[in-house]
Amino acid sequence: MCWLCDAKTPAAPLHPVAAPSEHRWSSRRAFVLAGAGAAALGTTGTALAQVDVGKSSALRKLVPAERLEEAAGQQYAQMLAEARSKRALAPDNHPQLLRLRAMARKLIPFTLPWNDRARQWRWEVNLIGSKQINAFCMPGGKIAFYTGILDQLKLSDDEAAMIMGHEMAHALREHARERIAKSQATGLGLSIGAQLLGLGELGNMAANLGTQLLSLKFSRDDESEADLVGLELAARAAYQPQASVTLWQKMAAAGGGSGPGFLSTHPSGPERIRELQDNVPKVETLFNQARRGG
């Protein structure tokens, strides 16, 4: 998963990290990319997807998207408040945070073809001081990176953009919504047909999903979809596709499936790397066009 991958409530307390000109990170105002890039879609072009991930599961409709996004936003705000109280939330002028927000601005314009709901999202990007190798994007476009994933893996911009694209893809493909729908429908013994006619218990539960989101884990198919959609998003934003391969090679070297946080829920075996290698040629033309400004 991602933030859903054990991220939201770290096992260890957040570690304050010194910014270049500060001893500790101070409180800062929220940064919001309110629909950033949405209007730009009219000029960026929306060519058909080059990677093949099939259609999103209709099962996700059992959970109201609006309520899930609202619950995710509340959980995200609580997480930021906790980080701020520990002086671990990066200020707006922190170099690594500026770097991440610049990436988001490049990626966001290419999200709408994957999910029209992204038109309404108020994207946010924040950076938390922690040794954890982790990053996530909650439903509704709430993104966070931990400094550990940038520093310990020594990520290039292209590699970091692949992670951001991957996490955005989980939100765009509504993997959390689908996982919750499946678990709740099973746990409550509800028939899909009945729930499509009236959401009932699932509709009521969607308003209080914070705890469930924290324990959610994505399937291997979800991870594969996020890899490929993220690869295409990054290529369209002029980030080098081959970086998707070098990223997961670094992940494997850092511990693969045996590590904490991101690594424990994102196994980086040969199969994953081979799948990315097979799909890199599919998006090379997109990357070349983007690099030329076309």
- H/E stretch holding 38 reads none
Check 167, 223, 225, 232 and give the catalytic one. 167
For 174-240, the three-class secondary structure string (H helix, E strand, C coil) is: CHHHHHHHHHHHHHHCCCHHHHHHCCHHHHHHCCCCHHHHHHCCCCHHHHHHHHHHHHHHHHHCCCC
User: Is 167 known to be catalytic?
Assistant: yes
Other CB atoms within 10 Å distance of the CB of residue 72 = 25
Crossing angle (nearest 10°) for helices 157-172 and 175-188 = 40
Q: State which amino acid sits at residue 7.
A: A
Evaluate whether 72 touches 140 at the Cβ level (below 8 Å).
yes
* Residue positions annotated with a catalytic role: 167
